[in-house]
Amino acid sequence: MNPLDKPWAQLTLALLAVLVLPLFLKSGILATEILIFAMVVAACNLLLGYTGLLSFGQGIFFGIGTYAAGICLTRWQIPVPLVLAGAAVLGAATATLVGWLSIRRQGVYFVMLTLAFSQLFYFVAYTFSGVTGGDNGLLGVPRPSIAGTALNAPWSYYTFVAVCFVAVFAILVVVTQSTFGRTLLAIRENEGRAAAIGFPTRLFKIEAFAISGAVTAFGGALHAMLIGVAPLSNIEYHTSELILIMTIIGGSSSLFGSVLGAGFYLLLADALSTVWPRWLLLLGLVLVAVALFLQRGLWGLVERGYDLVFRRQRAPETPAEEH
């Protein structure tokens, strides 16, 4: 195994990312958005990379978290930690329901079902505009405050999100390293065999869905506080597609790949969208190129680069190897 895939290396990389982003980015908003999507994409990766479930429904849970935060914070005075916890619980509950229904079908049907469910929840949010604000969304979602001071400045909110991100990432690392995570891998590799050994595979898949949904909704709630709005677009098909695209571009073989995927996408979007409004055309071509030439995603590239450097240092095997 590549040493970079070890859990401690992954966690260290995540910490590094948190520290490096402020050094290279001018916009605290963009940096915060990257961290939020990084955790959401890692949660998608728990399904895709570890369980082998390609979910087109992650936007549902993201949107649910967004609306949970939007409704609680604009209509009632509920403390932020409670709102975040509530969003996660609601996300887990929704994911359990969606997972339970979608897992009844396998393979391609499963993918189609998750996409159809993402449309279902979009139309729920669209139809019941009295609760969700419909097209306008819910305006005026406040930033959280700590010890009486609101985290209004972008970089102070970044710090708050960074702490959340590291905690969530650590939890996901622990989950994937646990017996539970190993079992998910077994299900991905050979579901029939895992079931024959006696694992209740459907239950495990639904649990993976629930964890993924909880993290995604948590991220959705943070996102609403970041942009100050709970918009309809957060529950759209487009958001589900976005999260999945980031996951695959990043590479599904490690959790940190997801951080790379989110960062790559959002930085690309930020750089290109001001230059050319039709930049999604380029994104489409990038997706085709990734499928053809970069099937292990950006993380695969990192692994390859690491091996190259590592082997070069080792290859001479001569006394020259000293520094």
Q: Are the beta carbons of 212 and 42 closer than 8 angstroms? A: no
Q: Identify the sign of the CA torsion 297, 300, 306, 307.
A: negative
Nearer to another protein, 126 or 155 (CB): 126
Nearer to another protein, 38 or 242 (CB): 242
Q: Shortest approach of another protein to residue 190 CB, angstroms?
A: 15
Q: Shortest approach of another protein to residue 167 CB, angstroms?
A: 29
Q: Shortest approach of another protein to residue 58 CB, angstroms?
A: 14
Q: Which residues pair with 139 in a beta bridge?
A: 229
Nearer to another protein, 180 or 237 (CB): 237
Task: Say how far apart CA 85 and CA 66 lie, in whole Å.
Answer: 13
| Rg of the Cα atoms in the chain | 20
Nearer to another protein, 128 or 310 (CB): 128
Q: Shortest approach of another protein to residue 119 CB, angstroms?
A: 5
Nearer to another protein, 124 or 227 (CB): 124
Q: Are the beta carbons of 247 and 44 closer than 8 angstroms? A: yes
Nearer to another protein, 127 or 178 (CB): 127
Nearer to another protein, 237 or 264 (CB): 237
The greatest distance separating any two alpha carbons of the chain, rounded to the nearest whole angstrom, comes to: 74
Q: Shortest approach of another protein to residue 244 CB, angstroms?
A: 8
Residues that bind another protein (CB under 8 A): 48, 54, 101, 104-105, 107-109, 111-113, 115-117, 119-120, 123-124, 126-127, 237, 241, 245, 248, 252, 278, 280-281, 283-288, 290-292, 295
Q: Shortest approach of another protein to residue 270 CB, angstroms?
A: 18
Alpha helix stretches (DSSP H) within 25-153? 28-45, 58-75, 80-102, 107-127, 129-132
Nearer to another protein, 103 or 255 (CB): 103
From the number of C-beta atoms within 10 Å of its C-beta (0-12, 13-18, 19+), residue 183 rates as buried
Q: Identify the sign of the CA torsion 31, 37, 42, 43.
A: positive
Task: Say how far apart CA 179 and CA 49 lie, in whole Å.
Answer: 16
Three-class DSSP category at 36: helix
Q: Are the beta carbons of 262 and 34 closer than 8 angstroms? A: yes
Q: Shortest approach of another protein to residue 294 CB, angstroms?
A: 10
Residue 6 main-chain phi, psi, to 5 deg = -65, 150
Q: Both tokens of residue 143?
A: 């930033």
Q: Shortest approach of another protein to residue 250 CB, angstroms?
A: 12
Nearer to another protein, 116 or 197 (CB): 116
Q: Any residues with CB less than 8 A from the CB of 89 and at least 6 apart, and which?
A: 214
Q: Shortest approach of another protein to residue 314 CB, angstroms?
A: 32
Q: Are the beta carbons of 223 and 84 closer than 8 angstroms? A: no
